[in-house]
Amino acid sequence: MSNPASIAAFLAFFVTPVCFSAPDEFISFNFENNKIENGFDEWFYSGRGENPCGVYNGESQSKLCGPYGQKIYAYYSTYNTYHMGWGRYGYIDSSSSFAVRNSSLKVQTTGGPRPNPNGTVIYSGHPARAKSDIDSDTILSSPSQELFPGDIPLYFKTQSNTTRFEQLQGKNRFNVWVLMPRDSVDITQYRKSKKQRPDQRISWYPFINTSTSSHYYHHSSNIPLGGWTKIQFDAHPTHNNSGSKNRYSAFSTGGYQYPGDDRAYFSNITTFALRFKAMINQPMFSTYFVDEITTEYKPYENEETINNVGIGYDPETHLFDVSFEDKYRCPQGCESKYEIRYAFDPITNANFYETTLPKYVLNFERSRSNSEGIVYKPNSGYNLLWAGIEIQDEDKLRLQDYTKLYFAIKDISNRTLDQQPIDFEKVQLPGVGIFKRTELIKTIEYEIIPVNYPLQNETSNINEMVVGHYFEQVMQAFGGRKPYVFEAISLPEGLTLSADGLLSGTPTLKQATELSYLIHDEENKTISTVFNVEVFEEEDFDVVQCGDIVDLKHSIDESIINDSRFNGIETDKYTSFVNTGTTIVIGSNKQYDFTSITGSGYDLWPGDKIRTEWSNHGNKAINFQPNISVTQSGRIIYSDQSQWFKSTEIELLPGATASSEWVVEYPLSAYLINVNSNFANNKSLVLNKIQLVENARPLTDICRREF
């Protein structure tokens, strides 16, 4: 580790004052009359069958041709492997509905290749590579939810393999605004307990000096929060596809070619790609939007250990998210932490500590979330950091359309490794003082861009309704302009719908009927919503020729075994009892969970069923498929997976109870029934009962649901 006392031995750089430059427009995507066919500025659109700007295989796809021989086009991978990437069908278009200014570049996917379980590749969807290849009505009328593993990168090229971009000369920041598919990531699941590191979701791949050699990688891990995400890529890569030659896989700003020189790195970019892994595993017809690419030069910032900063925003909750990369990665010793602050005016090295700490930082490693403004690196072996940022309550009131917020990040790490000497080089800030390079801050300006989603119903299903039992559910809407007003059209007997969307009451009649209502917004836009619903009676849930084997309670002793063939209950050490049954209580690993009941022996015949009754004690819907074994005791282990069988899949809404069944296909004799929830959770999914449905039982044996 470098001794701070020896820093004076390093060369001190006294930098001549350089004026900050305002961002310069690189590519606006402000298409004339908001149509891609009309082009924008000096850029024009080219469709299939022509190739005026020399795109490789350009006759087969649409592209944009610009000044200085520049071009923008979609890249269609043909590797179709998880290592090299999967292809996608789709094309470039324009959008005025979703834009930072005027209009944006829209990338529309239309299907593509997917892996087949037998190892082959299957293709589905519409093999479009230009807007003219598919009718927009086809997209609107095809709500396919198949998920595809590929994405469509965008390539930006110059006239030749060695021509530099005029717009990047003397710069060190490449800013791009991106709008990702809303709700495609659940922030509650974006955490270290679910995945080992933040995802590489949006990436920049610059080629230096020539487009025929290797390229660098710059990554962002921002997730879609509903608003636009701004990513500020800089001259500090974190990987090269030819490999990382430095210790700790650590690059300095400027890469191999121009170490320490961020402007030279930018000035010698000949090609770059924007990669959108955020589109991986999205439905057939999905879109993302790119807008307002700008460049700028920012001096006197930390270009070594804080890199490629991105900011996203949730207009509903006013939560921001921040992503950036640090410099070092290794199995141990590459831990780091950073302080983040914000203000409504520009932040500098001089006023950093006069700005505001967030109210709360939601770290990727949730146990390290805090109110001290500290972002912790979640995994020492990777570069990416991510956090949700909640600003102070009084400042949320100031957030209006086009409000500008400034964020700054400072490295406060105590690393236990030998850092590169450049980290400790000294910089003279005019009028401020001398700083080590890693003592400087990194800044990004974010503007609240309104996103005008169309008014839409957000209620996906109506909860179960039973005659004589009180029902309550809040109907949800999104988009348009709040406030919303709900107006009933047709409701089951006994229910009412309030103007603010509360559907409530006690159903009085068993019926299959329509439940429909209107949603109005403040701009007098109206949509209608219709559900086909069924109102049940208690008896509808009776299961004949069925008996409770065990009714699980608060403990083994309190649980009730109702079948003389069974006499013992056992659970995993990470599984224990709550008021109504068993659940995972230590950690959340679905493998570390079982509840079994044992006895002297029993026989089952084809058509008999093992039923398990579950309840959802959490606040989110749960989709799961329990595992059943009649031969294996204890946890599921790899060697005996073939002895476990999938029960039927069920969806459990918060507070609901439902049953899953495994149907016996052959005669069997056994002495145990072992149940695994097969769902990662902690105290939310509870096993209430184990039951047997047997053809040998009388019809008077009935399993009744408890209401």
Q: In whole numbers, what is the pLDDT of the chain averaged over residues?
A: 94
Per-residue pLDDT of 44-62, as tens digits, reads 999 999 999 999 999 999 9
Q: Dig out the tokens for 403 from the structure.
A: 């409000």
Q: Whose CA is closest to 263, among 229, 234, 239, 231?
A: 234
3-state DSSP assignment of residue 707 = coil
CB atoms within 10 A of CB 339: 18
Domains of the chain and any CATH numbers: 10-257+270-447 (no CATH), 456-537 (2.60.40.10), 542-703 (2.60.120.430)
Contact 290, 149 (CB under 8 A): no
Q: For residues 321 and 388, is the Cβ–Cβ distance under 8 A?
A: yes
CA gap 494, 487 in Å, rounded = 16
CA distances from 237 to 115, 204, 219, 496 (A): 32, 9, 9, 58
| Cβ-Cβ contacts under 8 Å for 414 (sequence gap 6 or more) | none
| Percentage of the chain lying above the pLDDT 70 cut | 96
What's the chain's length in residues? 707
Q: Which helix (H) or strand (E) holds 394?
A: helix 393-396
Please answer whether residues 385 and 324 qualify as being in contact, where contact means their C-beta atoms are separated by less than 8 angstroms: yes
Question: What are the tens digits of pLDDT across the range 14-25?
Answer: 333 444 567 999
- For residue 630, give the nearest of 667, 597, 670, 600 by alpha carbon: 670
Local confidence band at 641 (pLDDT 50, 70, 90 cut-offs): confident
Tally Cβ neighbours within 10 Å of residue 353: 10
| Full 3-state SS string of 175-217 | EEEEECCCCCCCHHHCCCCCCCCCCCCEEEEEEECCCCCCEEE
Higher pLDDT, 241 or 531: 531
- Alpha-carbon distance values, 325 to 252, 335, 347, 376 (Å): 12, 12, 20, 12
pTM recorded for the entire structure: 0.83
pLDDT band at residue 519 using 50, 70 and 90 as cut-offs: very high
**Under a CB-based contact definition with an 8 Å cutoff, are residues 518 and 489 in contact?**
yes
Question: Are the beta carbons of 445 and 296 closer than 8 angstroms?
Answer: no
What average pLDDT does range 550-560 have in this prediction?
96
- Give yes or no for a contact between 263 and 172, defined as CB atoms under 8 angstroms apart: yes
Parallel, antiparallel, or unpaired for β 526-536 and 465-466?
parallel
Helix (H, G, I), strand (E, B) or coil at 569: strand
pLDDT of residue 136: 80
Q: What is the pLDDT of residues 185-204, one digit of tens each?
A: 999 999 998 899 999 999 99
pLDDT in tens, 400-432: 999 999 999 999 999 989 999 999 999 999 989
Helix, strand, or coil here: 602?
A: strand
Of 99, 89, 61, which is closest to residue 152 (Cα–Cα)?
89
C-alpha to C-alpha distance for 252 and 237, rounded to whole angstroms? 8
Most confident listed range (9-13, 140-144, 238-242, 547-551): 547-551
pLDDT at 20: 53
For residue 659, with 0-12 CB atoms within 10 Å meaning exposed, 13-18 middle and 19 or more buried, which class applies? buried
Average pLDDT of span 267-284:
96
pLDDT for the residue 10 = 35
User: Tell me, what's the pLDDT at 35?
Assistant: 96
Interatomic CA distance for residues 376 and 169, integer angstroms: 34
Mean per-residue pLDDT for 355-362? Answer: 98
pLDDT at 21: 61
Dihedral over alpha carbons 4, 9, 11, 14 (to 10 degrees): 70
Q: State residue 706's pLDDT score.
A: 82
- Rounded CA-CA distance 594/663 in Å is 20
Rounded Cα distance between 614 and 412, Å, is 47
d(CA 297, CA 675): 61
Pairwise CA distance, residues 94 & 408, whole Å: 33
β partners of residue 650: 624
Q: What is the pLDDT of residues 475-487, one digit of tens each?
A: 999 999 999 999 9
pLDDT digits (tens, 9 = 90+) for 645-677: 999 999 998 888 999 999 999 999 999 999 999
Q: Which letter, b or e, does each residue of 477-493 get, where b requires 16 or more Cβ atoms within 10 Å of its Cβ?
A: bbbbeeebebeeeebbe
- 142 pLDDT higher than 90: no
279 with 109: CB under 8 angstroms? yes
Average pLDDT for 228-256: 93
Bridge partners of 320, per DSSP, are: 313, 389
Cβ contacts of residue 186 below 8 Å, gap of 6+?
A: none
